[in-house]
Amino acid sequence: MDDSVNTRYPILLVHGLFGFDRIGSHHYFHGIKQALNECGASVFVPIISAANDNEARGDQLLKQIHNLRRQVGAQRVNLIGHSQGALTARYVAAIAPELIASVTSVSGPNHGSELADRLRLAFVPGRLGETVAAALTTSFSAFLSALSGHPRLPQNALNALNALTTDGVATFNRQYPQGLPDRWGGMGPAQVNAVHYYSWSGIIKGSRLAESLNLLDPLHNALRVFDSFFTRETRENDGMVGRFSSHLGQVIRSDYPLDHLDTINHMARGSRRRINPVELYIEHAKRLKEAGL
């Protein structure tokens, strides 16, 4: 039996905004949990709101960590968070570091998202447009949770958006600074309060014509449009999060040729010749194991 990534502590994969554990046969972390399990890791996907602020999602995550510890007898857990899931994981590690062995941010907006800033500017607070958009996206989040079998999870898309803007994350970072670099584009401390911090992310590279089957991927094409909304990290983003905005702790790499959804293995097949996202998770689990985590 393969036990190459049999980490000391269980791994929890924490989804981002509009995420879920699974809907039917479709998993948010596509093929990733299965691959890690096959290599000997103990992996769980917690059930948290598809849309809410970082603290609300974090409190849900913390409750499930307590339950998991009772079920499997683990003293601590490794958290791997994608997108907003990184902020959710950071919150838990900040308020309960004794329960967390490591936090890994995958495409996490650790300094905010310029895309969220643009969306926030598009809706005037208190006006009809904001009210309608918030109601629709909150309903969509509830629909996703219902499809995944968890209809009672609280949803608030407006709170989620505010929590992902540059200003919103700056406020969050003042309260929970663990793992953050002290200069833009640098690395943060690799360990704080006995919690290990890591991050990796990608950027959209090259022209559409150079991307083979990604030309046929509507989500990738949408992320290329979102790329044009960035001003600080123009051409250095994954369509939702800027390269340096993603930095946290030990930065493994922040310029993989992957867009925001590629890093959870939602990608056109033609791109697999360049890099396989699933292998990044397996390599990282080996890294955690080697670190005694």
Q: Is the dihedral of CA 231, 107, 119, 90 positive or negative?
A: negative
Asked if residues 33 and 27 have their Cβ atoms less than 8 Å apart, the reply is yes
Cα angle 263, 16, 32; round to 5: 45
User: Residue 243 contacts by C-beta under 8 Å, 6 or more apart in sequence?
Assistant: 201, 203, 233, 236, 237, 254, 255
The catalytically annotated residue of 111, 260, 266, 284 is: 260
Rounded CA gap, 92 and 105, in Å?
13
Cα 99 to its chain centre, rounded Å, is 20
Catalytic residue flag (residue 260): yes
> Among residues 17, 11, 15, 70, which one has the least CA distance to residue 41?
11
Q: Is the dihedral of CA 53, 119, 103, 12 positive or negative?
A: positive
The catalytically annotated residue of 21, 217, 238, 259 is: 238
Rounded CA gap, 51 and 228, in Å?
25
Asked if residues 203 and 110 have their Cβ atoms less than 8 Å apart, the reply is no
Rounded CA gap, 259 and 82, in Å?
12
Cα angle 229, 256, 92; round to 5: 80
List the catalytic residues: 83, 238, 260
